[in-house]
Amino acid sequence: MIQEWNIDPTWSLFLDRDGVINERIWNGYVLNYEQFVFKAHSLEALKFLTRYFSHTIIVTNQQCVSKNLITIKELEEIHNQMLHEINANGGEITRIYAATEEKNKTPFRRKPNIKMGLEAQNQFSNIDFSKSIMVGDTDSDIEFGKNLGMKTILLKSEEKNTIQADFEIRNLTELNDLIN
């Protein structure tokens, strides 16, 4: 099915962070880099996946900032160290967009709201949502992608999902194998 999408270098890849790139902390948050644990084989998969796409964008809900559990500076430090590790392993992330407000609070950037996607498209005008894939592990990730007209891929986890994605995978390596 994914082969029918005819993915080429003009496509963009949007990724959730927690549960897709790193291990998700259930009923909690990654509050420092010591708690940030890459999912098995995700660094190797990112090395290859990022070569297939014109942009690889991370869109992540991080309400831990507005809950005053960490500062925006501390979140940026986690992201900087994550990017350093991804780059050191041959991957490349174009940009990270983080919605730091609490659920159901303004400015309503949190997924499934489409604002982070529109911000990415505004910054990178060659992003075409009809030639983009959203990979996430929650309904809000899949709804975000669908709301923007993207192809959607659910990375299966302990999360209970009710929104049907276009495709399901168990990890990013599986996505790499399907595209390759």
pLDDT computed for residue 3 by the predictor: 83
Provide the whole-model pTM: 0.96
pLDDT computed for residue 128 by the predictor: 98
pLDDT tens string 105-160: 777 899 999 999 999 999 999 999 999 999 999 999 999 999 999 999 999 998 89
User: Can you tell me the mean pLDDT for 80-105?
Assistant: 95
pLDDT computed for residue 171 by the predictor: 96
User: Can you tell me the mean pLDDT for 3-13?
Assistant: 94
The answer, yes or no, to whether residue 1 has pLDDT greater than 80, is no
pLDDT computed for residue 104 by the predictor: 79
Q: Does residue 19 contact residue 37 with C-beta atoms inside 8 Å?
A: no
Q: In what order do the strands lie in the sheet with 95-99?
A: 95-99, 55-61, 12-15, 132-136, 151-155, 167-169
Tell me the domains of the chain and their CATH numbers.
2-179 (3.40.50.1000)
Q: Which residues are catalytic?
A: 16, 18
The answer, yes or no, to whether residue 103 has pLDDT greater than 90, is no
